[in-house]
């Protein structure tokens, strides 16, 4: 059987290979033995794929040769597509490297033989080459040999911007910063190298994308540890310029006003997004909306102040206390103004939709909201921010009066009783 198969396959072979099979008895025997193993292979003789039955197969792990070939062909196609995509993304780099390699090849293939030929002709005519020309040729040869011997390292350096961007995409920010530091060291070591300056510009662009992504990430609900890590990264030199760093002073996070503004702005956006998500509750029950609104303020305001102190005020170095108080005052005042507007809009209507509630129950609902506002004021006072007088002025004294002084005083006594 194997002889017949071999004779059939031999007709499609190269004439030289066919002649070799006819002349070499050992090779012919080995080929026949291999064909016999293929013929007796149960998996290769499987006819599962040719059956017309639509029933489920009992053996889902076995694959015949055609299936293996199809899978390998599909994997090969996917790899080709990935290679084409990578080549398309880095076509500028590939073209640049190709031009450099072509230039080196041209120098070695054309210029170097001419110089060597000139040297031979000079020695044959018993004339001596100019010393400067000889040194120039020697330096050119040494430079070309150095480039060729270190081609892998040179290509690795050209890939640093791409590697930096990949680290940023995967969240490996420290590794991206280390790459930037390495390229900066090369730029300082070789100040006249345009290649390193261009690489540094590309990496700086990648780091700008990283900074924008981290700032957007701060607008989400992050844990304190994650926020601290982000600001440790943003405090690296030249990532987020500050007035002190531009003037040549040492940059310290406690005195970096830009980072403080970034933090407070991101926390403001986060709290406003959380408040906006409560709007559907107005259609159900306004009391629930107001309680959840004040609870969000109390939780996230206290948390944002705690993280602010942990990031900017824990070191105690170059701390501008007045500047911090102004920033925090503006931050909280803007949020409190919005809360007061919501209270003025919806607190008078608390209990109106509940027909079963009497006046005592409605007063109890209002007292619950007032008590939550008092808890909010007291939580802010832990960080030296007294907003109770501001809130009482807006709610109890400014016309139109939203909360009576007696109601505020009564609930304040309740709070003191609970605390004691």
Report the pLDDT value the prediction gives residue 351, as an integer from 0 to 100.
60
Burial of 311 (0-12, 13-18, 19+ CB in 10 A): buried
Provide CB contacts within 8 A for 20, sequence distance 6+.
Answer: 27
Cα angle value 285/290/296 (rounded, 5°): 125
Report the pLDDT value the prediction gives residue 211, as an integer from 0 to 100.
92
If you ran DSSP here, which 8-state letter would residue 268 be given? H
Report the pLDDT value the prediction gives residue 316, as an integer from 0 to 100.
55
Report the pLDDT value the prediction gives residue 76, as an integer from 0 to 100.
87
DSSP per position, 4-46: HHHHHHHTTS-HHHHHHHHH-HHHHHHHHHHHHHHHH-TTTT-
Tokens of 219: 């607008």
Q: What's the pLDDT band for 53 if we cut at 50, 70, 90?
A: very low
Tokens of 93: 């780099």
Report the pLDDT value the prediction gives residue 27, as an integer from 0 to 100.
80
Q: What's the pLDDT band for 264 if we cut at 50, 70, 90?
A: very high
Question: What is the per-residue pLDDT across 391-410, written as a single tens digit (0 to 9) for each?
Answer: 888 888 888 888 888 888 88
If you ran DSSP here, which 8-state letter would residue 108 be given? I
Question: What is the per-residue pLDDT across 200-236, written as a single tens digit (0 to 9) for each?
Answer: 999 999 999 999 999 999 999 989 899 999 998 888 8
What residue spans define the domains of the chain?
1-41, 147-235, 261-418
Identify which of 262, 253, 235, 236 has the alpha carbon closest to the alpha carbon of residue 315: 253
Q: Which of the pair, 376 or 55, is modelled with greater confidence?
A: 376
HEC string of 302-342 equals: HHHHHHHHHHHCCCCCCCCHHHHHHHHHHHHHHHHHHHHHH
DSSP per position, 46-99: --GGG----SPPS-SS---HHHHHHHHHHHHHHHHHHHHHHHHHTHHHHHHHHH
Provide CB contacts within 8 A for 112, sequence distance 6+.
Answer: 140, 141, 144
First to last CA, the chain: 101
Q: Are 371 and 415 in contact (CB under 8 A)?
A: yes
Question: What is the per-residue pLDDT across 114-141, written as a single tens digit (0 to 9) for each?
Answer: 778 777 776 665 444 456 666 676 677 7
Averaged confidence pLDDT in the chain: 80
Question: What is the per-residue pLDDT across 314-370, written as a single tens digit (0 to 9) for each?
Answer: 765 545 677 888 888 899 889 889 999 998 888 887 766 555 556 778 788 888 888
Query: Which range (34-38, 120-124, 379-383) has the least confidence?
Result: 120-124
Q: Looking at the predicted structure, is the pLDDT value of residue 48 above 60? A: no
Q: What's the pLDDT band for 267 if we cut at 50, 70, 90?
A: very high
Question: What is the per-residue pLDDT across 90-100, written as a single tens digit (0 to 9) for each?
Answer: 888 888 888 88
Report the pLDDT value the prediction gives residue 124, as an integer from 0 to 100.
64
Q: Which residue reads 């990949």 in tokens?
A: 166
In order of 57, 371, 380, the CA distances from 351 in angstroms are 67, 17, 29
Instruction: Please give the average per-residue pLDDT across 48-55, as a whole number.
Output: 46
Q: What's the pLDDT band for 71 if we cut at 50, 70, 90?
A: confident
Report the pLDDT value the prediction gives residue 149, as an integer from 0 to 100.
66
Burial of 403 (0-12, 13-18, 19+ CB in 10 A): buried
Q: Which residue reads 């027909």 in tokens?
A: 355
């Amino acid at each position: 059987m194997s002889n017949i198969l071999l004779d059939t396959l031999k007709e499609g072979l190269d004439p030289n290979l066919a002649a070799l099979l006819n002349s070499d008895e050992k090779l012919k025997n080995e080929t026949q033995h291999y064909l016999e193993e293929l013929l007796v292979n149960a998996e290769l003789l499987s006819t599962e794929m040719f059956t017309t039955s639509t029933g489920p197969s009992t053996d889902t792990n076995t694959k015949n040769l055609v299936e293996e070939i199809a899978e390998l062909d599909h994997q090969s196609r996917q790899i080709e597509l990935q290679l084409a995509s990578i080549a398309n993304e880095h076509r500028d780099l590939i073209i640049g490297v190709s031009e450099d390699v072509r230039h080196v090849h041209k120098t070695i293939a054309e210029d170097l033989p001419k110089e060597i030929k000139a040297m031979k002709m000079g020695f044959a005519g018993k004339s001596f080459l100019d010393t400067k020309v000889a040194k120039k040729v020697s330096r050119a040869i040494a430079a070309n040999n150095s480039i060729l011997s270190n081609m892998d390292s040179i290509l690795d350096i050209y890939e640093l911007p791409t590697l930096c961007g990949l680290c940023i995409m995967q969240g490996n920010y420290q590794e991206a910063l280390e790459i930037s530091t390495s390229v900066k060291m090369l730029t300082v070591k070789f100040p006249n190298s345009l290649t390193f300056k261009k690489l540094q510009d590309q990496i700086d662009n990648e780091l700008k994308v990283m900074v924008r992504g981290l700032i957007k990430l701060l607008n989400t609900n992050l844990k304190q540890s994650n926020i601290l890590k982000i600001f440790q990264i943003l405090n690296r030199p030249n990532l987020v310029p500050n007035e002190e760093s531009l003037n040549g002073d040492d940059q310290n996070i406690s005195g970096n006003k830009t980072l403080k503004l970034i933090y407070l702005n991101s926390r403001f956006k986060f709290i406003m997004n959380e408040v906006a998500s409560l709007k559907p509750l107005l259609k159900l029950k306004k009391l629930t909306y107001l309680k959840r609104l004040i609870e969000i303020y109390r939780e996230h305001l206290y948390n944002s102040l705690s993280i602010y102190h942990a990031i900017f005020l824990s070191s105690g170095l170059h701390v501008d206390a007045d500047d911090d108080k102004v920033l925090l005052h503006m931050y909280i005042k803007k949020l409190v103004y919005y809360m007061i507007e919501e209270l003025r809009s919806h607190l008078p209507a608390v209990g109106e939709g509940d027909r079963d509630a009497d006046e005592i129950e409605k007063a109890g609902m209002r007292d619950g909201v007032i008590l939550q506002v008092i808890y909010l004021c007291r939580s802010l006072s832990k960080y030296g921010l007294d907003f109770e007088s501001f809130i009482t002025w807006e709610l109890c004294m400014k016309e139109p009066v939203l909360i009576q002084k007696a109601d505020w005083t009564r609930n304040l006594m309740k709070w003191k009783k609970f605390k004691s």
